Amino acid sequence: MPDTVTQAKWDKAAPTFDIMAAKGAEERWLPFKKKLFSNMDGKILFLALGTGLDIASFPAGKDITAIDISPRMLEVAAPRIEAYDGSIETKVMDVHEMDFDDDTFDQIFTSCTFCSVPNPVDGLKALKRVLKPDGEMFMFEHTGSSYYPFKLMMTLMTQISRRLGPDMNRTTVANVEAAGFRVTEVNNLFLDIVKTIRANK
Ligand SMILES: C[S@@+](CC[C@H](N)C(=O)[O-])C[C@H]1O[C@@H](n2cnc3c(N)ncnc32)[C@H](O)[C@@H]1O
């Protein structure tokens, strides 16, 4: 059954998402995203393109299939997709219900998504299904912290943040492992909260 609740939440967020995402934060993380996305090669799935803010960090000339549950987010992304020096084909699709064949993609990239996907372990298992056996997943994510004051604060913040957008207290590295991936690298960029993750199928 389509997840109309999640879709409606992100459709509603779409018009103001770029303001909420904050230019300063985008600029701060740009070099790290560029480094992560510089690994793009082969048949690529980008999960949760959103309004396309990540496109500024994509290397030129790639052939990318990008999905998002929210058609409104993808509408806002349209000029950025148009301006990309390469190919981005978009599909409105829930990660839990992707209609791609098993073992379709060489690589999967995603950014700030598993703070938002309703059932993260199921979503990650679905990604594993469409990744080729020797494929690799690359993630830029913010998660909860294991340090007590932050852990508590982020759990409290999530009570409000999840009504409008993401959760602040996800355990994404553990979720990636629980989905059956082998985590090969975790690179903490701010405390243990903002990080890049690499994982093999
Ligand atoms: C915090 S935004 C990040 C967007 C973009 N990657 C960025 O960093 O600017 C989370 C995105 O995940 C998408 N999303 C949430 N749940 C999803 C799902 N089940 N399947 C696909 N996309 C989903 C939302 O529509 C939204 O665009």
- Examine the pLDDT at 164 and tell me if it is beyond 80: no
**Given phi > 0 = left and psi -120 to 50 = alpha, else beta, which region is 50?**
left
Q: For residue 75, what are its two tokens?
A: 């509408």
Q: Please count the other Cβ atoms lying within 10 Å of the Cβ belonging to residue 77.
A: 25
Q: Are 70 and 11 in contact (CB under 8 A)?
A: yes
Does residue 90 or residue 23 have the better pLDDT? 90
Does residue 42 or residue 27 have the better pLDDT? 42
* Predicted local distance difference test score (pLDDT) of residue 37: 98
pLDDT digits (tens, 9 = 90+) for 80-135: 999 999 999 999 999 999 999 999 999 999 999 998 888 999 999 999 999 999 99
pLDDT-derived band of residue 165, with 50, 70 and 90 as boundaries? confident
What's the gap in Å between 4 CA and the centre of ligand 1?
14
In the chain, the domains with their CATH numbers are 4-200 (3.40.50.150)
Q: Would you tell me the crossing angle of helices 71-83 and 4-13 to the nearest 10 degrees?
A: 50
Residues with CB under 6 A from ligand 1: 6, 10, 21, 48, 50, 53-54, 67-70, 73, 94-96, 111-113, 116-117, 165-166
* Predicted local distance difference test score (pLDDT) of residue 142: 87
**Residue given tokens 């082998």 in the structure block:** 182
* Predicted local distance difference test score (pLDDT) of residue 155: 82
What's the gap in Å between 180 CA and the centre of ligand 1?
22
